[in-house]
Amino acid sequence: MLRSHNCGELKSTDINTTVALSGWVQKIRDKGFIIWVDIRDRYGITQLVFDEARTPKKVFDSARNLSREFVIQIKGQVIERESKNNELLTGAIEILVNELNILNPSEIPPFTIEDKTDGGEELRMKYRYLDIRRNTIRDNLIFRHKVTMEVRNYLNNQGFIDIETPYLIKSTPEGARDFIVPSRMNSGQFYALPQSPQTFKQLLMVGGMDRYFQIVKCFRDEDLRADRQPEFTQIDCEMSFVNQEDVLTQFEGLISHLILKIKNYKIDKFPKMTYDEAIKNYGSDKPDIRFGMKFGNITDKAKGKGFNVFDSEEIIVGFSIKKGASISRKEIDKWVDWIKKPQIGAKGLVWVKYNEDHTLKSSVDKFYTENDLIEWAKITKADSGDLIFILSGETKKTLKQLGELRLAIAEKNNLRNPDIFAPLWVTDFPLLEWNEEAKRYHAMHHPFTSPKKEDLGLLKSFPEKVRANAYDLVINGNEIGGGSIRIHDSKLQKEMFNLIGLSNKEAQEQFGFLLGAFKFGAPPHGGIAFGLDRLVTILGGEETIRDFIAFPKNNSGRDIMIDSPSMIEKSQLNELGLDLNKS
């Protein structure tokens, strides 16, 4: 037996018992005649004492050879600690050691195994197994486990069946880029890793499974943005005989259960907002609604007063900042510069100060009277003491830019409080979006999403006006999940494929299996998938998803610990029929 207890459990009630502990050396304090060693495992830290007067000489001498991260086993007696440490679970006791076994020595670790480590991220990633020994990462992984257990229990109790779907599937050009796996046995042919189990979960519904879920890895070969992983985990779900409202109610239940269980935070009902409202009022399809700053459209009030910039633009829109009138001109100029930077790309920013003394001052005073400005203040819900920021331009672009400005100001003013959870359903997404490069429509969610019944008539004449039975769950401005009610009719599915540019032949080649399945009594069905990595990170009150993944990839999609991706042997390439010199 290498241990009788773990390093986090001994208390004053254990005093005088003889125990065996195993773990890593966290810290050594050598006072000459007495040596204190902190021993650590997943459960905590216990203080060991090697006392020249009371510890056998051989053991005391051996303690001198210890160093950080050695793996040791000790036996000894639990004694009362003189200076108690209330911060530590085991802070009331220490172990007077009489036997020490060095189970494995350790080189000096490349960074300190402390909460505030001296290791930079790259170094910590290279030695991730050491990083995992730190409280933060260990606790994050345990936290993730708790969340997934809650998800499993909840869905299991609701009758959902956990079913595995294949990882080696077929490449299709829709959606993001696939990761490709060459097939040795079928030379010149390739599998793809799933971007999601979408078609499989639908086939499970055709198969009558009724309620499915899976906590599943998905793979997307996309250009990496900050905090995006090429492989990530979804809580993937599908249900039969449901409409949109049924799905939202079901998964609102799951998410509010998680927030209550994990954060002890009760949320009654998630608000809903259509995609059009979200864009119009917040310039984003995933608005952060923890704070106001809702947009006001002043186009009609601001045009035709001789200000050329406004007169020639499609939309003039702004929002008010509470107590913003006290912001200095210098500070305002900083925002003007911010909005003009290439990532945002606005041409300029108009401001109005609604002073405490009820006077109004703006950057366009030459063209507008105080009465005009008061009209604007009404529309943007500004009061005396507030500041209004206004942008103008092409509608879609301008709303997006104003949305970015809104978030940046909220960030600066500490309005994005991580202790608040503000979930929101965004519904009625457009079915299609025009892709200028490819000169064709793309499915906004995916091509299996059903159009709204009342918009079916527009499918041929105004495809971009058709709304989908598609919804996203947004929490604090992050897209946490998305799903839709699916098409279950072979003819409509074919029509949808045609709309996104697939000929009947191509549709048959790529999705013949699904079109075929729909001819054998496919039930109405729908579902959703949540991004587990981000959900866990948000529930954990953090921002970096890498901190909640055991072995994450870096921002260039590399695993720098195992050094992957990597070259493979020429013989391996040959075997796969992939001789790069051949063609």
> What does the CA dihedral 88, 89, 90, 91 come to, rounded to 10 degrees?
40
Interface pattern 196-235 for ligand ASP (x via CB under 6 A) = x-x-------------------------------------
Residues 357 to 396: which contact ligand ASP by CB under 6 A?
A: none
Distance of alpha carbon 512 from alpha carbon 53, whole angstroms = 82
Of 165 and 281, nearer to ligand ASP (C-beta) is 165
Q: Please identify, among the stretches 52-60, 75-83, 105-113, 525-533, the one whose residues bind ligand ASP according to the rule CB under 6 A.
A: 525-533
What number of CA atoms fall less than 13 Å from residue 73's CA on the CB side? Answer: 9
Distance of alpha carbon 228 from alpha carbon 482, whole angstroms = 17
47, 12 contact by CB (below 8 A)? no
| Residue 447 lies near ligand ASP (rule: CB under 6 A) | no
Q: Which residue among 287, 430, 483, 540 contacts ligand ASP (CB under 6 A)?
A: 483
Distance of alpha carbon 432 from alpha carbon 447, whole angstroms = 9
Element (H, E) at 123: helix 121-126
Residues 142 to 201: which contact ligand ASP by CB under 6 A?
A: 196, 198
Q: Which residue among 235, 443, 528, 535 contacts ligand ASP (CB under 6 A)?
A: 528
45, 88 contact by CB (below 8 A)? yes
> Strands 161-162 and 211-219, how do they pair?
parallel
Of 76 and 531, nearer to ligand ASP (C-beta) is 531
What tokens were used for 95?
């172990």
The string of DSSP codes covering 222-259 is: PPP-TT--SEEEEEEEEEES--HHHHHHHHHHHHHHHH
| Whole-Å CA distances, 564 to 551, 553, 557 | 12, 9, 9
Q: Which residue among 529, 532, 539, 549 contacts ligand ASP (CB under 6 A)?
A: 529
Q: Which residue among 283, 385, 430, 482 contacts ligand ASP (CB under 6 A)?
A: 482
Of 529 and 545, nearer to ligand ASP (C-beta) is 529
Of 409 and 431, nearer to ligand ASP (C-beta) is 431
Distance of alpha carbon 383 from alpha carbon 387, whole angstroms = 8
CB-based closest residue to ligand ASP: 196
165, 196 contact by CB (below 8 A)? no
Considering the complex, what minimum distance in angstroms separates the CB of residue 512 from ligand ASP? 20
Of 288 and 472, nearer to ligand ASP (C-beta) is 472
What number of CA atoms fall less than 13 Å from residue 452's CA on the CB side? Answer: 19
**Does 451 sit behind a cis peptide bond, omega within 30 degrees of 0 on the bond before it?**
no
Considering the complex, what minimum distance in angstroms separates the CB of residue 237 from ligand ASP? 7
| Residue 484 lies near ligand ASP (rule: CB under 6 A) | yes
Of 423 and 482, nearer to ligand ASP (C-beta) is 482
Considering the complex, what minimum distance in angstroms separates the CB of residue 423 from ligand ASP? 17
Of 8 and 175, nearer to ligand ASP (C-beta) is 175
| Residue 443 lies near ligand ASP (rule: CB under 6 A) | no
Distance of alpha carbon 374 from alpha carbon 186, whole angstroms = 72
Considering the complex, what minimum distance in angstroms separates the CB of residue 306 from ligand ASP? 49
Residues 411 to 430: which contact ligand ASP by CB under 6 A?
A: none
Interface pattern 244-273 for ligand ASP (x via CB under 6 A) = ------------------------------
Site residues for ligand ASP per CB under 6 A: 196, 198, 482-484, 527-529
